Homo-oligomer: A and B are copies of this chain.
Amino acid sequence: MSKTAAGNFFEDFRVGQQIHHATPRTVTQGDAALYLALTGSRFGIHCSETLARMAGLPRPPLEDLLTFHLVFGRTVPDVSRNAVANLGYADGRFGALLYPGDSLHAISEVIGLKESSSGTTGTVWVRTRGIKEDGRQLLEYVRWVLVNKREPESPAPEPVVPELPAHVAPEQVSVPVGLRPRHFNRMLAGAMERFDSYEIGERIDHVDGMTIDDAEHRLATRLYQNSAAVHFNAHRERSGRFGRCIVYGGHVLSIARALSFNGLGNVLHVVAINGGTHANPVFAGDTIYAWSEVLDKADLPRHPDLGALRLRLVATKDRPCHDFPYRDADAKYLPEVVLDFDYWGIVLR
């Protein structure tokens, strides 16, 4: 009997199954500094005690997406070790803020299973929750992945495809407890735009580009203790599908969010993930550009000083975004488009 984790194959999942993922993690200021150095993020409440306090918080929490990556990383050995592709995200909602010194762990529930027509793979839907040591929920989201079967001939389970919301409803968008930026200094934050200055349909080119090297995406992905081999094992990937390692899609997402500071610096915090697709792979040496589109706006009735923007964040590789590259005439992603991410962010009024 092997002592080595082989990960779960499609046959190993059952609808309703609860997976308590291994290795809880205590986060520190070291994680925050590394995330900043890896992404170049300038969002103020996460790097400045001054701005965090002006926003009503005791000190800078970790970035929203760092929390997401840490939770995601925990699930990889159980959920996606044998995954062929990460197909999508939905219904992601952030809860309590994560501060240096806090500990987190992750639990997933299998909520859907459907064998592929090929019979060699199947789609697994999991709802994952990231939980703080005090029991409060940091984040939950649904992810679905295409997973290999152990044996092609094993019988297909009864297909269960979960109903998922097209996006998180505005009423479900929750502002982190304590976040009350009534005395926020916009100029200090580099965020002069107001909620009212954004219009639905408006598109913003974030202008800047960021090149990613192997050492950078590997440092990031290891920081999250995400052990997916495609990011780390160049020897094996040389004879693989792309001939080289692919960059963890979450690192591309973090880079795109950091680039979006130029134009959306006032999106203080990501509060919901409506959906996300890694449209094309990214490799070391690629330069990431990004643009955003305002998909919707929502009031936050209990937070008169804040509003919520539903944003599409699109990232490209080696293609500037002044013309907002997205899909072709057949609605297929352009080959340079690498990320299509739909989220709610909170913005100062």
Q: Are A23 and B189 in contact (CB under 8 A)?
A: yes
Chain A interface, >50% SS class: mixed
Q: Does A174 contact B (CB under 8 A)?
A: no
* Number of copies of this kind of chain in the complex: 3
* Chain B nearest CB, measured from A306 CB (Å): 18
Q: Are A229 and B206 in contact (CB under 8 A)?
A: no
Q: Are B262 and A22 in contact (CB under 8 A)?
A: no
Q: Does A263 contact B (CB under 8 A)?
A: yes
Stretch from A24-32, A120-128, A162-170 that touches the partner: A24-32
Q: Does A48 contact B (CB under 8 A)?
A: yes
Instruction: Specify which of B22, B39, B190, B211 is in contact with A245 (CB 8 Å cutoff).
Output: B211
Q: Does A274 contact B (CB under 8 A)?
A: no
- Give residues 2-59 of A contacting B (CB, 8 Å): 2-5, 20, 22-26, 28-34, 36-40, 42, 44, 47-51, 59
22 residue pairs A–B, Cβ–Cβ below 8 Å: A4-B206, A5-B190, A22-B42, A23-B189, A24-B51, A24-B188, A25-B48, A26-B59, A28-B29, A29-B29, A30-B30, A30-B31, A36-B223, A38-B222, A50-B103, A208-B229, A209-B235, A211-B218, A214-B215, A216-B218, A216-B219, A235-B289
Chain A residues proximal to chain B, CB less than 8 Å: 2-5, 20, 22-26, 28-34, 36-40, 42, 44, 47-51, 59-60, 77, 100, 103, 105, 133, 187-191, 193, 197, 204-211, 213-216, 218-223, 225, 227, 229, 232-236, 245, 262-265, 285-287, 289, 318, 320
**Extra 7 A-B pairs, beta carbons < 8 Å, given A29-B30, A30-B30, A227-B262:** A23-B190, A26-B49, A34-B37, A40-B227, A211-B214, A219-B219, A235-B287
